[in-house]
Amino acid sequence: MPTDRLRVFTRLRLTRLRGLVGRSAVEDERRRLGRRLAVPRLVRRPLGGLLGPAASDAGQSLGALAVSAIASLVTGFTFALFADTLRDNPGLLLFIPAAIGLRGNVFGPLGSRLSTALQTGTLSWSWRRDSLLGQNVIGAMASSLVAAFVLSLVAEVVVLSVRDQSEPVLGVADFVVVSVIGGTIASVVVLVITLGLAIAAARFDWDLDNVVAPIVSASGDFVTLPAIVAVAGLLGRGSTTWILAGIATALVVASAAWVLRSSLATARRILIEAVPILLVAGSLSLIAGVVLERSLDRFLAFSVLIVLLPGYLSIAGALGGILANRLSTKIHLGLVEAAPLPRAAARADMRITMALALPIFAFLALLGASFGALADRTSPGLPSLLAVALTGGVVATAFVAVVAYYGTIAAVRFGLDPDTHGVPLVSASLDLVGAATLIGALVLWGVA
């Protein structure tokens, strides 16, 4: 029986059982059907048997990851195009990784929640603000606004802490303007892309969990930097900047107050649960930016590594996001248990994630070498890039797989929605160790 039909059958069967038999019998049937859905028998396929229980799942994930890899490399080259703007606004460079990551950490969970709603049959395509879809959109946008505002304050503190006090840096009003206004522009674009993916998943029978994390991450990378640079023209203008910062602050406060005082329970829960983990992830991104800046000499030895770095971190995060989203959905469906050690269904998804890492990191190395050659960047050569990307990538993926599983389980144990917390937890942890795995691989292979 195809996977999508089996899901429908599972829901119908369990619904009927609840009215006919006791709770224990329902749970026994849920576990039996869950094993059929979560760990179907592998068949002989060139890629499907290796990369997962269904060729379509592997194809969807690899296609989305390939798009993410290409977009991330383009983002790496875009940094070079806007070098003058970054140089003219001291402190902006340290803020950009956190601003880019915020989009993925807001709209990746939105996609995960929509995926769960699609697969449990609870999503209706109503755009009313009190509908499930409407409340998810409101909650995501409100979370984005609040997190962007607070993150701008944290960014000012971090910049003042690490920069020489004699050097000019952006002020708090500058960070508020670029974070809230530039971030809102980027958020609207990424929101449209996320909703488009959800509609396409329903129309073409995709599993949204397989594609939303890589595509949202890639679109966040691709859109946020130009949006910030466009708004950067409003910085350093004295009273004009302060007026814009005041308007942005008022917008944030009004939005948060309206959601918290409204009767929209789902939107209110999203805002309350999302903002703390978004701030943790964003703060760690700021710290990671400082660490990367101080390790810059290693990457300058071969400039193609700077181009490779955004894609490397994006792919590792996207793999963790795919796993976190799949686990969250299966937790809601009762197909994965919140056990101290991963059971069969969870282990199967973790194996698929590790298997996906091999071809996609190899593809990333090939792209990096090709882009580097076209842009005349210094490179250690394709064999070394492959060795570094595969070694560091596999270690980073293993790390985020563990974080995705235990982060999902922890969210359930604390009564939180795992859909909201999975992607930001992966992102936050990857910011701490992601670059370290790449630097470790460079040292291991004697590249830098």
Rounded distance, CA 28 to CA 34, Å?
A: 10
Q: What is the model's pLDDT at position 55?
A: 56
Segment 398-426 mean pLDDT: 89
Task: Check if the beta carbon of residue 186 is closer than 8 Å to that of residue 220.
Answer: yes
Between 79 and 250, the more confident residue is 250
Distance CA 221, CA 75 (A): 6
CA distances from 44 to 35, 38, 50, 55 (A): 20, 18, 9, 10
Check pLDDT > 60 for residue 207: yes
Q: What is d(CA 246, CA 176) in angstroms, rounded to the nearest whole number?
A: 9
> 403 or 432, which is more confident?
403
- The CB density around residue 82, as the number of other CB atoms within 10 Å, is 17
User: What pLDDT is stored for residue 52 in this prediction?
Assistant: 43
Share of the chain above pLDDT 90, in %: 27
Number of C-beta neighbours around residue 311 at 10 A: 29
Average pLDDT value for the chain: 80
CB atoms within 10 A of CB 23: 9
Global pTM reads 0.78
Task: State the virtual CA torsion across 388, 393, 394, 397 in degrees, nearest 10.
Answer: 170
Concatenating the DSSP letter of every residue in 127-141 gives --TTSHHHHHHHHHH
* Of 362, 65, 57, 309, nearest in space to 201 by CA: 57
> Any idea which of 195-199, 299-303, 309-313 has the lowest mean pLDDT?
299-303
Binned at pLDDT 50, 70 and 90, residue 167 comes out as: low
> Is it the case that residue 408 has pLDDT exceeding 80?
yes
pLDDT at residue number 291? 65
Q: Is the pLDDT of residue 425 over 70?
A: yes
User: Once rounded to an integer, what is the mean pLDDT over residues 134-143?
Assistant: 95
Taking residues 365-386, report their average pLDDT. 83
Q: Decide if 90 contacts 99 (C-beta within 8 A).
A: no
The arithmetic mean of pLDDT across residues 152-175, rounded, is: 79
- Measure Cα distances from 292 to 67, 97, 200, 305, 412 in Å: 25, 11, 37, 12, 33
Q: Give the confidence band of 439 by pLDDT, cuts at 50, 70, 90.
A: confident
Contact 248, 152 (CB under 8 A): no
Which is higher by pLDDT, 17 or 315? 315
The per-residue pLDDT for 333 is 79
| Residue closest to 291 by CA, chosen among 90, 392, 431, 98 | 431
Q: Supply the pLDDT for residue 191.
A: 95
pLDDT digits (tens, 9 = 90+) for 238-274: 788 899 999 999 999 999 999 999 999 999 999 999 9
| pLDDT value for 447 | 80
Tokens of 224: 């946020």
Phi, psi of 42 (to 5 degrees): -70, 145
Phi, then psi, of 341 in degrees rounded to 5: -115, 140
Mean pLDDT of 418-433: 82
Does the structure show a pLDDT above 80 at 164? no
Euclidean distance between CA atoms 148 and 99, whole angstroms: 8
299 pLDDT tier (thresholds 50, 70, 90) = low
Query: What stretch of H or E contains 236?
Result: none
Least confident range from 81-85, 157-161, 213-217: namely 81-85
What span, in angstroms and rounded, lies between the C-alpha atoms of 236 and 37? 57
**CA 287 → CA 118, 158, 258, distances in Å?**
37, 8, 32
C-alpha distances out from residue 190 to 274, 350, 423, Å: 17, 27, 16
User: Is the Cα torsion angle 424, 429, 435, 440 positive or negative in sign?
Assistant: negative
**Both tokens of residue 158?**
């971090």
Instruction: Give the pLDDT confidence score for residue 47 in this predicted structure.
Output: 42
Task: Using pLDDT thresholds of 50, 70 and 90, give the confidence band for residue 369.
Answer: confident
In the structure, what pLDDT confidence band is assigned to residue 117 with cuts at 50, 70 and 90? confident
DSSP string, 141-164: HHHHHHHHHHHHHHHHHHHHHHS-
Q: What is the pLDDT of residue 48?
A: 41
Mean pLDDT is lowest, of 16-30, 116-130, 394-408, for 16-30
